[in-house]
Structure 1
Amino acid sequence: MKMFEYRFAIAPLFHFIASKSMEAGLHVCDGRGKQTVQLFMNDAASEKGKKRIGAIQYEGSNDYAMKEPYIVSWRFERALLPDGLKQDLEAITAFRRDRKEGTAINPNAQSIAFKFEALTDAAKETIEAITAVLQRHARR
């Protein structure tokens, strides 16, 4: 799938996460957005109109001409995840930011959200851990 062709400093991070999502077996769909791609458990789920399980999104700016986004959010909708997948994603705490304010990890927030600002070794390690969890559950 052709991803957004932005030249933002964090674009390689966005593409890395999207690639890892596909490697894990998720279907990535652009949904005609300019900053977000939607994630589905598989191709059939998106074609049958099932709800997405998550998204990858540029954050930090709504006007790219004025300011580049500086965060990539990889989030998963708690209410739409199978229980085992939800529990395994909840267990990963690095780079978590479930809400904009308050505690970083909030089990009552709508999403399990991971927010990255650079493709550091620590970020890669967490992205690989998330990918491994997704792979285990996508193949069931």
Structure 2
Amino acid sequence: MPRLPAHLRGEAQRRVSAALALEYVPASLVHGDLAAENMHWSSGGDLIGILDWDLAQVFDPAIDAACLAWHGWQAVRQAVDGDTYRRARVWARTFGIEQVGAAIANGEPPSVIERYVESTVKWLEQDLGQVI
């Protein structure tokens, strides 16, 4: 949080705190990056493959539900139970923040960390007026 501008630190802290306060759920294998480019569909609309498993881990399954929000939150709501949907909304509000922490934890050079800080600031500022 200290790398973010002062006016965004409180919001970032609220989002991380909300995620940390989520109740325990049984962990399962999650992909962690179900972006459009990692999901491959047949011409008939069936999912035929998922690529890029480097972020896979045992964690809250709501993470993958949150990743699928690029389909729209209404689609996510229809695909998962209410509790998973609620947790997915909380996790989604942390996605733009986590890159800074990961870069620091991975020992990335300052130029890389600053690039992530810049993108996080843009993401937070854009997101502040929106309801996720």
Q: TM-score, normalised by structure 2?
A: 0.31
Higher strand share: 1
Q: TM-score, normalised by structure 1?
A: 0.29
Q: Which one has the largest radius of gyration?
A: 2
